Amino acid sequence: MARDNPAEDRPLPTSIDAECAVLGACLQDPEIAETVLESLRANDLYQDRHKHILGAIRAVMGKGERPDLVTVAKVLSTRRQYDEIGGSTYLAELIDIWCPIPSNYPAYLRLIREAAARRRVIALCTRTVGEMFDESSGLSESIAHHEEDLDVAAHGSDDATAVVPAKLAETIKVWMRQDELGQKPTRIPTHIPKLNLNLGGGMAEGRLYYLGARPSVGKTSFALDIARHAAKAGHAVLVVSLEMPEIDGITTRTLSQESLISELSLRSGLLSGEEYHRLVRGAGTLSDLPVWVTEKAHNIVSICRLAERWPFLPRLSLLIVDYLQLVRGPKSESRRVEIEEISRSLKLLAVNISAPVLCISALKRQGEEDREPTMSDLKETGELEYDGDAVLLLHRGFNAEAAKLIIAKNKYGPVGVVPLLFKKACVTFEQAPEEG
């Protein structure tokens, strides 16, 4: 007789040997560690001590140091996890016993990710069974949510053997040929010249950018400035709006930025003759720009599907998500893990659509609103600062006009601070003039 629950009393899919081997490879080669950290999250591992070790390797790499027995052991000791993972003996075993051939790490990664995907699907299906007994929720809605979550849960189990790496010499030839033909890499310029300079000309294809700020600082307005500037350069922009209740809100704000008329005046309709002419010119300019806005894509699956199956011309060149903490991801053990999965999906999406993704993120409230934010203030973080190719923090403090853009992380260029001016009436930012 078949059991009602086929998952009962059965061990979950795991690949412990592969977990050991991958960690051993990371402890021997920093380049392998870099690749592994881009492919795995702690929750992909089954054993808690392996999660601790991966977290320590990530911390060491984050400081620009080489992960090895000494540096990783130091982090584990600081976190009071050293004895829990088995100490130096276990770390040495990961290298000497479990991973004599580090170059085999892609096969180990594939085994780990497949086992993790299977565990996520099992957990989701088990939870769905319970939800089906709850008749208070609509059947169609429950099924739709299950299908979306199932898609996300299974994500990442693709067969890595289908990827064929290109030889470096061949890549160099292609790059030189493109340079001879004047085919430079596409960059999406922002409205801030110094930011463009630090980013190597603007936001690059396949990269994930985070823009963080505290409430009411103007992070959405700053992102809309970027969208408008990019569209004027001929780039198609998609804005996924989850914060504003209506598309009308984004329309009004963008029109205010373009026409330099205050939002208050636009909403009240009390315009002077000169303002009315500016409004007509601004509306005409915006109506011709390749900017699309949606408020319907509430989860990471629908966002990815829309971007990857972009049905309009020109092709999508920039995706803006406003904002991260409102995006729904796969149901997880904690909101932190869910946010990490969303962040990882956005990074993969940027690569898949060959376009930059700019994601707005909330910052923690610290009670010191005039204090300059740091990356540690990113709300519900975990892996955001690692996934992001650049992390930009907008700060305005108590001064209504003086502002600054802190380039807290820039994987491919310098960090630093860009002084800004905030024009409150039309909610727009511009680079402050150089002193002297």
Of 53-62, 157-166, 415-424, the poorest mean pLDDT is in 157-166
Domain span at 193: 186-431
d(C-alpha 137, C-alpha 264), whole Å: 41
- State the pLDDT confidence band at 162, using cuts at 50, 70 and 90: very low
| CATH number of the domain bearing residue 338 | 3.40.50.300
Those residues with Cβ within 8 angstroms of residue 216's Cβ, 6 or more apart along the chain or in another chain: none
Bridge partners, residue 416, by sequence: 407
What's the pLDDT score for residue 272? Answer: 76
Are 95 and 242 contained in the same domain?
no
The count of domains in the chain is: 2
- Respond yes or no on whether the N-terminal peptide bond of residue 13 is cis (omega within 30° of 0): no
Residue 436: inside a domain: no
Axis crossing angle, helix 105-132 with helix 30-39, rounded to the nearest 10:
20
Distances (CA, A) of 215 to 192, 323, 365: 22, 12, 9
Check whether 245 has a pLDDT greater than 60. no
Q: How many residues in the chain?
A: 436
Segment 21-40 shows an average pLDDT of 87
Do 228 and 144 share a structural domain?
no
Proportion of the chain above pLDDT 70, given as a percent: 80
pLDDT at residue number 30: 86
Same domain, 89 and 210: no
Residue 310 lies in a domain: yes
Q: Based on the fold, state whether residues 239 and 131 are members of the same structural domain.
A: no
201-207: average pLDDT: 92
- Looking at the fold, whether 123 and 199 belong to one and the same domain comes out as no
pLDDT of residue 391: 93
Within a domain: 150? yes
CATH code, domain carrying 106: 1.10.860.10
Contact 356, 205 (CB under 8 A): yes
Residues 374 and 242 in one domain: yes
pLDDT in tens, 339-387: 888 888 899 899 888 899 999 998 876 655 567 888 877 766 556 777 8
Strand, coil or helix: 184: coil
148-152, 239-243, 323-327, 427-431 — which is least confidently predicted? 148-152
In a domain, 279, yes or no: yes
Residues 90 and 219 in one domain: no
Residue 102 lies in a domain: yes
- The residue type of 241 is S
376 within a domain of the structure (yes/no): yes
User: Quick one: 256 and 295 in the same domain?
Assistant: yes
221 domain-assigned: yes
238 and 150 within one domain: no
More confident residue, 270 or 345: 345
Alpha-carbon distance 317 to 9, whole Å? 49
What's the pLDDT score for residue 160?
37
Start-to-end CA distance of the chain, whole Å, equals 85
Q: Which residues are registered as beta bridge partners of 402?
A: 421
Q: Are residues 69 and 207 in the same domain?
A: no
Which of 112, 119, 104 shows the shortest CA–CA distance to 17? Answer: 112
Record the tokens describing residue 311, joined without a space. 């049905």
Among 147-156, 220-229, 275-284, which range has the highest average pLDDT? 220-229
134 and 191 in a common domain: no
Q: What does the pLDDT read at residue 156?
A: 46
Rank 29-38, 229-238, 261-270 by mean pLDDT and report only the highest.
229-238
pLDDT category of residue 247 using cuts at 50, 70 and 90: low
- Which is nearest to 251 in space by CA: 265, 266, 237? 266
Question: What would the pLDDT profile of 183-197 be if each residue is shown by its tens digit?
Answer: 556 789 999 999 999
Three-state SS for 101-130 is CHHHHHHHHHHHHHHHHHHHHHHHHHHHHH
Q: 178 in a domain, yes or no?
A: no
Task: Tell me how far the alpha carbon of residue 256 is from its chain's centroid.
Answer: 29
Query: Domain boundary residue among 131, 163, 195?
Result: 163
Q: Are 159 and 397 in contact (CB under 8 A)?
A: no
Phi-psi region of 385 (alpha: psi -120 to 50; beta: other; left: phi over 0): alpha
Q: What is the CB neighbour count within 10 angstroms for residue 262? A: 16
* Same-domain pairing of 262 and 343: yes
pLDDT at 281: 82
Note if the pTM is more than 0.75: no
Q: Does 202 have pLDDT greater than 50?
A: yes
User: Which DSSP category does 383 fall into?
Assistant: S
Report the distance separating Cα 79 and Cα 73, nearest Å.
10
Span of 97-111, 124-138, 139-153, 287-301 with lowest mean pLDDT: 139-153
pLDDT tens for each residue of 249-262: 777 778 778 777 77
Contact 380, 323 (CB under 8 A): no
In the predicted model, is pLDDT for residue 157 greater than 50? no
Which neighbouring-strand residues pair with 421? 402, 430
